[in-house]
Amino acid sequence: MKQPLSTHFKIGFLGAGQLARMSSLKAFELGMQIAVFSDRPENEPVQFMTPYSFSGSFDDVDAMVQFAKTCDVVTLENEFIDSSILKSVQEKSGTPIFPSPDSFSLIENKLIEKQTFENAGIPVTPYALIKSADDLKTFGDKHGWPYLLKSSKGGYDGYGNETVKSLDQAKEAFKNLGGDDNRDIIAEAFVDFTHELAVQVARNKTRHVVYPCCETVQENHINVAVKSPAQVDEKVRQRAQQLAIAATEAINGKGIFAYEFFLTKSGDLLMNESAPRPHNSGHYTIEGAIASQFENHVRAVCDLPLGSAELRKPAVVMINLLGNHKRKAVVENADEAVAEPDGHLHSYGKLESKPGRKMAHYTLLGEDMDQTFERARKLTAGIEI
């Protein structure tokens, strides 16, 4: 690979949303240029940040090859492109893609992902591949109702998931999720947990750095906030970090990776989901850590030395700011939050706001977790987007 600390080096992003945007800001700091490939018809956040903007479908190898040929390295902000397609793009363009297509093939869909991590000795949420109504009943009998049905490929933030309370509901959901059309559907047991934890790991070709174990705060199944470090026993946090490192090694991952865990009532950690990219649970690292997940994403895929994942303050809180209105995007009533010392607003550059859409986030650094969390919630409560 060309020496990356140069304006003559270009990093390409497949996907043009806020994750690629925040990574791009760090690529710019290091002096690189960026290019972006978007699969959306409307203008996306990163497209406002570069003269080098490509559009097309994530199935269209030729379009992505054209894009990749203009770049020195390509990375991704999602996991929805088939590894075989990524492999073709890499081979035909001659431009390396990281995380590699081989890494992607090991987490290709939820079934393969669970098998990969299970084989690496990492405890995962109980699951099964569902092929028939019988399978639906068997799973319920074994793990109890309700449980979750998920389409194995695609789906995020609750989309592509259904909670089923009975066999009838399960059959209906199986159909809705495309099970009758031969889409792989997996069942997942509900886990009785006390905390949802997350860990980010950055890994380049020679080493890794692991971020503190943080805690995601859910309301109505929506992740509304992150606290770092997680307010759980130090041993639990260390164990989560160890599992996250093992998972990254299991897929020979190069880039930034996020892992979500359930901490069960009995004190066990079960891996819930993984993401081979910057993740919402790691947004707090922009100011909260010495080097952010985005900076280490860029560094890792460019084979630069990794930066420190150490926290800057004892308590870091990130609040997700979701759209409240369907309108042209604008952040209102944020003056108090913006004025707060060590409070940091990040707005994603989306054109349109919609209720529930991730539009921005707010990070507050402090000395005490409870106070910092309460203060961050208060400062952001009146924000309208």
CB of 41 or CB of 182, closer to a copy of itself? 41
- Separation CA 87–CA 100 (nearest Å): 8
Annotated ligand binding at 328? The verdict is no
Does position 3 interact with a copy of itself (CB under 8 A)? The reply is yes
Q: To which residue do tokens 């009995």 refer? A: 266
Residue 310 interacts with a copy of itself (CB under 8 A)?
yes
| Nearest-approach distance from CB 145 to a copy of itself, in angstroms | 44
78 is in an annotated binding site: no
Q: Which stretch binds a copy of itself (CB under 8 A): 137-145, 232-240, 277-285, 305-313?
A: 305-313
Check the annotation: does 190 bind a ligand.
yes
Alpha-carbon distance of 93 to 4, in angstroms, equals 18
What x-and-dash track marks residues 186-225 binding a copy of itself by CB under 8 A?
----------------------------------------
Q: Is residue 226 a known part of a binding site? A: no
Nearest-approach distance from CB 290 to a copy of itself, in angstroms? 5
Between 103 and 296, CB nearer to a copy of itself: 296
Contacts for 177-184 with beta carbons within 8 Å, 24 or more apart?
Answer: 177/149, 177/150, 177/151, 178/151, 179/130, 183/151, 183/152, 183/153, 184/109, 184/110, 184/111, 184/129, 184/151, 184/152, 184/153
Min CB(209)–a copy of itself separation in Å:
10
Check residue 42 for interaction with a copy of itself (CB under 8 A).
no
Amino acid, single-letter form, for residue 311: L
189 is in an annotated binding site: yes
β-strands 161-164, 193-203 pairing: unpaired
Q: Please, is 355 exposed, middle or buried when counting C-beta atoms within 10 Å of its C-beta (0-12, 13-18, 19+)?
A: exposed
Residue selected from 87, 304, 324, 357 as contacting a copy of itself according to rule CB under 8 A: 304
Give the three-class secondary structure for 183: coil
- The encoded tokens of residue 166 equal 């009975």
Provide, rounded to whole angstroms, the least separation between the CB of residue 316 and a copy of itself.
14
Choices 176-184, 229-237, 256-264, 306-314 (CB under 8 A): range interacting with a copy of itself: 306-314
Q: Which stretch binds a copy of itself (CB under 8 A): 76-84, 98-106, 226-234, 308-316?
A: 308-316
Strands laid side by side in the 161-164 sheet: 127-130, 185-189, 147-151, 161-164
Interface with a copy of itself, residue 71, by CB under 8 A: no
CA torsion sign for 214, 216, 217, 223 is positive
**Residue 361 makes contact with a copy of itself by CB under 8 A:** no
Binding pattern for the stretch 313-342 against a copy of itself, x by CB under 8 A and - elsewhere: ---------------xxxxx-xx--xx-xx
CB 226 within 8 Å of CB 217? yes
Q: Is 315 annotated as a binding residue?
A: no
**Count of residues that bind a copy of itself according to CB under 8 A:** 49
Contacts of 355 (CB under 8 A, 6+ apart): 322, 323, 324, 325, 326
Question: By CB under 8 A, which span of 6-14, 115-123, 177-185, 210-218 interacts with a copy of itself?
Answer: 6-14
| List 101, 282, 349, 366, residue binding a copy of itself (CB under 8 A) | 349
Spatial CA neighbour of 246 closest among 124, 121, 127, 125: 121
- Please tell me the distance from the alpha carbon of residue 351 to that of residue 179, in angstroms, as a whole number: 35
Whether 249 has a binding-site annotation, put simply, is no
196 marked among binding-site residues: yes
Closer residue to a copy of itself (CB): 65 or 331: 331
β-strand partners of 289: 311
In single-letter form, the type of residue at position 255 comes to G
In whole angstroms, what is the distance from residue 319 CA to residue 360 CA? 9
**Tokens encoding 174:** 């199986």
Contact set with a copy of itself (CB under 8 A):
3, 5-8, 21, 25, 28-34, 45, 47-51, 53, 290, 299, 304-308, 310, 312, 328-332, 334-335, 338-339, 341-342, 345-351, 360
Binding-site residue set: 110, 150, 188-191, 196, 272-273
Binding-site residue set for ATP: 110, 150, 188-191, 196, 272-273
